[in-house]
Structure 1
Amino acid sequence: MKKARIAIGAILVVAVGWYLFIKPSDYIINFKVKTTPGTVMQSVISWNYDLPDSEIIVQKGIAEVVQQRHFGDSVVNYNYSAKMINDSITQVSVGVKDLNNSFINRLTVPFSNSLFKTRSIANVDTFFEILREHLDQIKIEVTGIEKTPAIHCAFVSLKGLQVEKAMGMMRNYSYINEVLSSNNVELNGSPIIEVTDWNIKTDSIAYNFCFPIKRSENLPITKDIKYKRLFEKEAIHAVYNGNYITSDRAWYALLEYAKKNNIDVENQPIEIFYNNPNMGGNELDWKADIYLPLKQDDPL
C-alpha cells in the first residue's frame, strides 16, 4: 500500500508540474465544423486583418496558425490547430496562452470564470460565428478526375498573398482587355488563373492571370503581356460557388480529396471564372472551375 501511495503521489506531482509549467496553453477550446482544415486556417488569417493589435506570428502548413493579440498590458497567443476527423468534419482546437499571466491563469481557470477565461471563450465564439457565416456563403463540390482545357492565352505574371489574388485580377482585367480589344485580338473563353508557385508556409502565390484568345500571328507586344499555350492535363476538379476572393477554399478541398484517395498532385491550382464580379448578383450564383493537376511522371 505504501508503494502504491508513493506511486500515486509521484504521478500527481508530475501531472501538476506538467499542467502548471509545461503545458503549452493556459486554456483550450474545441469545436467541430463542416469544412477543411485549410479553410479554417485561411478564415483565421482573413479575420485577423480586421482586428486591431493582432497579427499572425506562426503558420505551420495548412492546419495550424498562431494569432497574437494584445489586450491592454496582456499579450495573448491563440494557437489554432485543425484536423479532419471524417470525410467532412474538422475538429478545431484553440490553445490560449497569456504570455504575461500564464501561471495565475492556470491556477484560476479550473475554478472560476476569470476575465482571461471569459474573454477567450468570447473571442473563439466570435471566430466560430464568422466562420459559420462564411461557410454559408460558399459551396464546393469535388467531382473527381477531369482534364483541364487546352487553350492559347494572353497573360500577365503576378505574385502576392493568397488573399490578394482577386485584387490582382481586378487591377489587370481592364488593362489586358483593352490592349487585346484595341488590337482586334479575339477572346476565346473566360479568364483563368494559373498558379505557378504556392508557398503554403508564407501564404503566398505566384500566378499567371490569363485571357484565352484565338491564335493569331499579329499579337500586340507590350512590356507586361505575354502569350503561351496551356496544355491539357489530368487534374482533380471542383466546382466553386461564391465570392472569388475566397475561391482558394476549393484548393484545400482538392488537397483533402487527393490525400484521402492517395493521389499525388502538383500544388499549382488552375481556376476558370465564369462571372464578372462587377455585375454583382448573388455570390452563390458565381461559378468557377478549380483544378489541381496530377503529378506528372518525370520524363526518362
Structure 2
Amino acid sequence: MTKKIIWTALISVIIALVIYLFIYPADYKVTFEAKALPGTINQTLKVWNTEVDGEIQSQRGINNMEQRIAFGDSIHIYNWSFKALNDSTSSVTVHIKDENNSLQNRLRKPFFDIPIQKQSAKTVTNFYEYLNDHLDNFKVTYEGESDLKSTFCAYVPLKGKQSDKANGMMQNYTLLTSVMANNNVELNGPPFVEITHWDIEKDSINYNFCFPIIRSEKLPTHTIIKYKRIFAKKALKATYNGNYITSDRAWYTLMRKAKDLNKDIQLTPVEYFYNNPNFGGNEINWKAEIFMPIE
C-alpha cells in the first residue's frame, strides 16, 4: 500500500511538472479589471499595438487575441482574453511567454525573479493606462428600444476597416454636399452611416455614407452617388459622445444590452451624426445616435 501511494504521488508530480513546463500557456500571467466591454478593449488594444510596434498574430472573436512584441533580442507572446462581468466592466487575463526562452523561464521561476515578469508588468500597465485615457474621451448612454425612422437618402457605398469609417465619411462629405447643393436637392436631416455587413473577426465593414434628402424626379446622376430608401424598423438605441472615429464603441454596448434583454438583433448598426468635425470643438460634446436593428 505504501509503495502504491509513493508511486501515485510520484506520477502526480511528474504529470504536474510536464503540464507546468510544456502545456501551461504562460511563463507569466497578469489579470486586471477594466470599466469597458470586451469589444472596446479589443479595438483599443489594436490601436495601442501599433504604438508599441507589436503584431497581432490571431483573433478569436471579440474576446481573444494573440499579440507578438519584440523587446531587444526577445520576442514575447501576449495572449489576451476579455470577459464581460456586467454591462460596463470586463476582466482581462494576459498569458505571456518568451518565444525562445520559455522553458528556461519556467525552470527558474520557482526560485528566482525572471526578466519577463518585470517587462510584462510594465507593458500591461502601459496598456491599462492607455485604455483608461481612451475611456475618458468618450461616453455611451443606452437609451432603450426606439424607432429607426424611414428616410430617403443619397449615399456613397464604401468598405474598409472599422477604424477607417470616419475617414471614409470625411473623404466623401464634400462630394455629397457639393452635388446636392449644386442641384438644389433639399436635405432632410443629419448625415448617417448604414452598416450593411460587419465581419467582426476581420474588423471589416461594408457601409453606406448617406445624406437624407427630399425625394424628387430630378435627382442628379453621378458615377459614385446612389439613392435608396431606408425603411422604418425597431432598434435598440444609444447616444455616443466623442470622436466619431470610435463611435463603434456604442455597437458593443448595444450588443451587450441585446444579450441582457434576450433580443435578437441584426449586426447592421445605423449611426446619425449631429456635429461636423471640421468645425472642431471639444470632442466629448460631439453627438451621434446609434441604432442596432431588432430582428
Q: How would you bin the TM-score normalised by the shorter chain?
A: over 0.9
Deviates more, 1:84-93 or 1:170-179: 84-93
Once residues 4 and 143 of structure 1 are traced to their aligned partners in structure 2, the CA distance between those partners, rounded to angstroms, is 63
Q: Provide the TM-score with structure 1 as the length reference.
A: 0.94
- Aligned residue in 2 for 1:212: 212
Which residue does 2:21 correspond to in 1?
Answer: 20
Distance across 2 between alignment mates of 1:258 and 1:108: 47
Shift of 1:175: 1.1
Secondary structure, aligned partner of 1:258:
helix
1:5-154 → structure 2 map (5 Å cutoff): 5-52=6-53, 54-154=54-154
Tell me, which stretches of 5 or more residues in structure 2 are unaligned?
A: none
Which letter maps to 1:218? Answer: K
C-alpha contact 1:27 1:109 (8 A) present in aligned 2? no
Q: Which whole-Å CA distance do the structure 2 matches of 1:159 and 1:246 have between them?
A: 16
Secondary structure of 2:51's aligned partner: coil
Deviations 1:40-64 (A, max 9, x none): 1111111112232x21111111111
How many Å separate the matches in 2 of 1:108 and 1:161?
A: 43
In 1, Cα distance between equivalents of 2:154 and 2:203: 26
Task: Kindly state the Cα deviation for residue 101 of structure 1 after the two structures are TM-superposed.
Answer: 0.9
Residue 29 of structure 1: how far off its partner (Å): 0.5
Distance in structure 1 (CA, Å) of the matches to 2:223 and 2:33: 49
Rate the CA distance shift 1:272–1:17 in 2: closer, same or farther, 3 A: same
- Paired with 2:238 and 2:110, the residues of 1 have a C-alpha distance of 45
Deviation readout 1:151-184 (Å, 9 max, x if unpaired): 1110000000111111111111111111111111
> CA RMSD, aligned part only?
1.3
1:298 maps to none
Q: Deviations over 1:105-126 (max 9, x none)?
A: 2223344333211111111000
Q: Distance in 1 between matches of 2:50 and 2:247?
A: 18
State the match for 1:273 in structure 2. 273
Amino acid at match of 2:203: D
Structure 1 segments (4+ residues) deviating >6 Å: none
Equivalenced residue count is 294
Counterpart-to-counterpart distance in 2, 1:175 and 1:33: 41
Is the contact between residue 57 and residue 68 of structure 1 (CA under 8 Å) also seen in structure 2? Answer: yes
> Which runs of no fewer than 5 residues in structure 1 stay unpaired?
296-300
Kindly state the Cα deviation for residue 74 of structure 1 after the two structures are TM-superposed: 1.9
CA offsets 1:86-141 (integer angstroms, 9 cap, x no match): 33220001111211111112223344333211111111000000001111111111
In 1, the alpha carbon distance for the partners of 2:175 and 2:111 equals 62
In 2, the alpha carbon distance for the partners of 1:87 and 1:175 equals 39
1:215 deviates by 1.2
Rate the CA distance shift 1:204–1:10 in 2: closer, same or farther, 3 A: same
The percent of aligned pairs where both chains have the same amino acid is 49
1:155 equivalent in structure 2: 155
Cα distance, 1:81 vs structure 2: 0.8
Match of 2:192 in 1: 192
Q: What TM-score, normalized to structure 2?
A: 0.96
Question: 2:175 maps to which residue?
Answer: 175
